[in-house]
Amino acid sequence: YRTIVLTHTDRNFYPAFLHKKMTVIPNFTCINPDGLTAKLESKTVLAAGRIEGKIKGFDLLVEAWQEIARHYPDWTLKIAGGGNPYELSNNIHALSLEQSVRLTGAVKNMAGEYLDSSLFVLTSRSESFGLVIIEAMSFGLPVVSFDCPNGPREIIEDGINGRLVKNGNVKELSKALMEMISDKGKRARFGKSAQCKYKAQYTLDKILDTWLAILK
């Protein structure tokens, strides 16, 4: 038998004597079957996830966006996801960010949202993996993420295909986002590296190969 876990961090939660019977197999995504690449020309930062509750950290993201809106008023933060928008909308209103933060509600065509963005941000307080990270990377989007448990640190290489910031640190998040917003060349380099990593590790074929090796 084998025990399958999504990340090496998950594996390390188990006693060492069990590790020989454990295999790390991450998620995959088929959201971009045609291999499309975002042009990174839109002045849009994208976030995605269910907006109710605190787990996705959108309250922290909106707080961080205050500083960005002051320096880059022509940029928009778009948050895609279903759920009751009441609490988050109130936060946006309280911070006078209605002009630069947009809640889309549930989205049927997330591929279109990725293609129409130049940067992806993840502010979850915790994640089991972070599927949206590899979705964004498949379209060549650089990702700025909190270094939350467990997935982001195993997907994002800080300073190569994105940025990892201390979990929950709003000031560091603002700084990292502005670093990427201000440097189109860096976004392009990181985005290209992100897409290469997706193709190397997170396609259906790559993950199936791992599964088949175990099943055989």
Closest to 40 (Cα-Cα) out of 144, 203, 183, 152:
183
Q: Is residue 2 pLDDT above 90, yes or no? A: no
Mean residue pLDDT across the chain: 96
pLDDT digits (tens, 9 = 90+) for 151-194: 999 999 999 999 999 999 999 999 999 999 999 999 999 999 99
Of 36-40, 87-91, 210-214, least confident by mean pLDDT is 210-214
Q: How many angstroms separate the Cα of 203 from the Cα of each of 19, 95, 98, 137?
A: 25, 40, 37, 11
* pLDDT value of position 119: 98
* pLDDT value of position 1: 79
pLDDT digits (tens, 9 = 90+) for 44-74: 999 999 998 999 999 999 999 999 999 999 9
Where is pLDDT greater, at 214 or 192?
A: 192
Considering the entire predicted model, what is its pTM? 0.95
* pLDDT value of position 62: 98
- The DSSP line for 111-156 is HHHHHT-SEEEE--S-BSS-HHHHHHHHTT--EEEE--SBSHHHH-
